[in-house]
Amino acid sequence: MSDKEKAGALLFVGAAQFVIALVVAEALYPGYSVSANTISNLGVGPSALVFNSSLIIFGVLAIAAAYYLKNVFGGLLFPALVALAGLGAAGVGVFTSHAGFVHAAVSFVAFFFGALAAIAAYRVEKRPLNYFSVVLGVVALAALGLYGAQAFLGLGIGGMERLVAYPTIIWVLGFGAWLLERE
């Protein structure tokens, strides 16, 4: 397997297992509402083990993928953004919402640097994926700004947080799959 394929596999598997674990965690949490509850509520309830371990796995795999991305594309900026997003994701799994400010800080790191990584991927991806990546990153950043301003636009806190998180997760899945493509 080439370094490109290794990075792709790590990112794709990390994001895919997280999406599946998120659905399982939501189902395991009685009365959970995607609108009224934050995503991180899943990390302190009956679904905590599934949710937190999945986030830690996602983060660790993203950090490992960043190593290979450096080998594939050179430079440090893009791999650093991916690694920081992974560090934030793993941090959310370790520092649950009960950790207060630390949880908020690692959540911000995951959301902010994940969105920036999607935008920065413009330079390494081919058209049209690079355009889609920028749009996903910009949507995530705009939603992060709205979330921070507590402007939930009728989606509730959980719905707006998903508008922050899902575009980046979609980007990671697509980018990982693109990297897996053999040339």
> How would you label 85-99 residue by residue, b for 16+ Cβ within 10 Å and e otherwise?
bbbbbbbbbebbbeb
The answer to whether 8 and 131 have CB atoms below 8 angstroms apart is no
Q: pTM of the predicted model, to two decimals?
A: 0.95
For the packed helices 156-180 and 3-28, what is the interaxial angle rounded to 10 degrees? Answer: 150
- DSSP secondary structure code for residue 62 in this structure: H
Residue 68: half-sphere exposure toward Cβ, Cα within 13 Å: 19
Band (pLDDT 50/70/90 cuts) for residue 115 is very high
Express each pLDDT in 51-108 by its tens digit.
999 999 999 999 999 999 999 998 999 999 999 999 999 999 999 999 999 999 999 9
Give residue 173's domain range. 3-180
The answer to whether 51 and 22 have CB atoms below 8 angstroms apart is yes
The count of structural domains within the chain is 1
